[in-house]
C-alpha cells in the first residue's frame, strides 16, 4: 500500500503515455477514422496538441498501488478509462455544439459531424479492447469483471448525459436530480477507475468497492467544483471563460440550487433570463446573474457540497497512502 511521490507519479504518467500511444499506434489502420482519433488525442494534425491532467489514469494507478499492485499490470486499465473518457469528450462536443477544445478545433468541427460520431464510437470500442491483455495477468474471471465495470460505467455515463440534455431542454431539475445526473455523467468513470485499479492488483471485493467509492466521491466533488469554476473561475487558471456556463444557460449546481432554494429571487431571475431567445446570453445579463447567484448563497452552497464529497473521499482513503497521496496532490482548488 505504497504512496506515490511527485517524481514517481510523473514517471508513471510518462510510462502511461507511452503505453497509450503504443496501443493507439498498434490498432491504427489505413482508414480516415484513425487519423481523426490521432488528431483528437494530440498525436497528429495542425494546431496545438494538449490534454488534461490524466486524473482517471492517475486514480487507476493509485488504486492499484493501494492494493499492492504493480504499475505495469495497471497500464491497460489506465488506457481503457482514458479512451472511454475521450470517447465521451468527442460526443459531448457534438451534443454541446463546441467547436474548440484545448485551443484547437474539435473532431466534429474539423472533420464533420458524421465523422465525429464515428470517431467517438470507435474510441469507445478501443477502450474495451485496451483491456484485452489483462486476462493473462490477473486471470479470466477478474478480467471479465473489469470489462463489466467499464461497460457499466459507459452505461451510467450515457444515462447521466441524457439527464443533462433533458435539464437543458427545460425539464424540471432539483439538486437531488442533479446529483443523480453527475453520478452518471462524471462520477461513474472515476468510480470505474478506482475499481479497475483495485482489480488489476487482484484486490479483494471489499478493496474494489472501497476504491470505487473513493473514485465516485472524488468525481462528485470534481464536477461540482467545475460548476463553480464555470461561473466564478479565473480564466487564466481554468482555461475557459467564466461567462460560458451562464451564457449557454447551463443548469449547473449553483443554478439548480438557486432555483430550488431562492425561487423568488435568483431563481426567478434565472428562469426569466434562460427563457430569452437567442443562442447565448449577453455579458450584462450574465454579470447580473452571477451577482444574483452569489447573493443568494449559491456559490457558498456549491463549494460546501463539493467540499463535503471530497472530505468523504479522504475519510474513505484513510490508511491507503497511495490514494491519500492522489487526493492530496489533486485536491480541490479555489479560484
Structural domains of the chain, ranges and CATH numbers in brackets: 6-329 (1.10.600.10)
The whole-angstrom separation of Cα 13 and Cα 9 is 6
How large is the average pLDDT for residues 201-222?
98
The whole-angstrom separation of Cα 10 and Cα 282 is 42
Above 80 in pLDDT, residue 295?
yes
CA distances from 238 to 130, 225, 309, 321, 334 (A): 30, 11, 21, 28, 11
Above 90 in pLDDT, residue 294?
yes
Tell me what percent of the residues of the chain surpass a pLDDT of 90.
Answer: 81
pLDDT at residue 234, rounded to an integer: 73
Question: Average pLDDT, whole number, for the chain?
Answer: 92
| Span 229-242, pLDDT tens digits | 999 987 655 555 55
Amino acid at each position: 500500500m505504497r504512496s506515490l511521490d511527485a517524481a514517481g507519479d510523473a514517471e508513471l504518467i510518462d510510462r502511461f503515455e507511452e503505453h497509450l500511444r503504443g496501443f493507439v499506434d498498434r490498432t491504427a489502420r489505413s482508414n480516415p477514422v484513425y487519423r481523426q482519433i490521432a488528431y483528437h488525442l494530440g498525436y497528429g494534425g495542425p494546431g496545438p496538441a494538449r490534454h488534461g491532467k490524466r486524473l482517471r489514469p492517475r486514480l487507476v494507478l493509485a488504486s492499484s498501488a493501494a492494493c499492492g499492485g504493480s504499475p505495469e499490470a495497471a497500464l491497460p486499465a489506465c488506457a481503457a478509462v482514458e479512451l472511454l473518457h475521450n470517447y465521451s469528450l468527442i460526443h459531448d462536443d457534438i451534443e454541446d455544439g463546441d467547436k474548440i477544445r484545448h485551443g484547437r478545433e474539435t473532431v466534429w468541427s474539423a472533420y464533420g459531424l458524421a465523422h465525429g460520431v464515428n470517431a467517438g464510437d470507435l474510441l469507445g470500442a478501443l477502450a474495451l479492447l485496451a483491456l484485452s491483455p489483462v486476462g493473462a495477468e490477473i486471470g479470466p474471471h477478474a478480467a471479465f469483471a473489469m470489462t463489466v465495470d467499464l461497460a457499466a460505467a459507459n452505461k451510467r455515463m450515457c444515462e447521466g448525459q441524457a439527464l443533462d440534455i433533458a435539464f437543458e431542454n427545460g425539464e424540471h431539475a432539483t439538486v437531488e436530480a442533479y446529483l443523480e445526473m453527475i453520478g452518471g455523467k462524471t462520477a461513474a468513470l472515476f468510480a470505474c477507475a478506482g475499481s479497475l485499479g483495485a482489480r488489476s492488483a487482484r484486490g479483494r471485493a471489499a478493496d474494489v468497492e472501497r476504491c470505487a467509492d473513493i473514485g465516485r466521491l472524488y468525481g462528485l466533488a470534481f464536477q461540482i467544483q467545475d460548476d463553480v469554476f464555470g461561473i466564478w473561475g479565473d480564466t487564466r487558471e481554468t482555461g475557459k471563460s467564466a461567462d460560458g456556463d451562464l451564457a449557454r444557460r447551463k443548469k449547473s449546481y449553483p443554478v439548480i440550487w438557486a432555483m430550488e432554494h431562492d425561487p423568488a429571487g435568483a431563481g426567478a431571475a434565472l428562469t426569466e433570463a434562460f427563457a430569452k431567445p437567442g443562442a447565448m446570453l449577453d455579458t450584462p445579463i450574465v454579470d447580473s446573474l452571477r451577482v444574483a447567484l452569489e447573493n443568494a448563497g449559491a456559490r457558498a452552497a456549491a463549494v460546501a457540497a463539493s467540499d463535503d464529497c471530497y472530505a468523504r473521499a479522504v475519510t474513505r482513503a484513510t490508511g491507503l497512502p497511495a490514494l491519500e497521496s492522489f487526493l492530496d496532490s489533486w485536491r480541490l482548488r479555489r479560484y
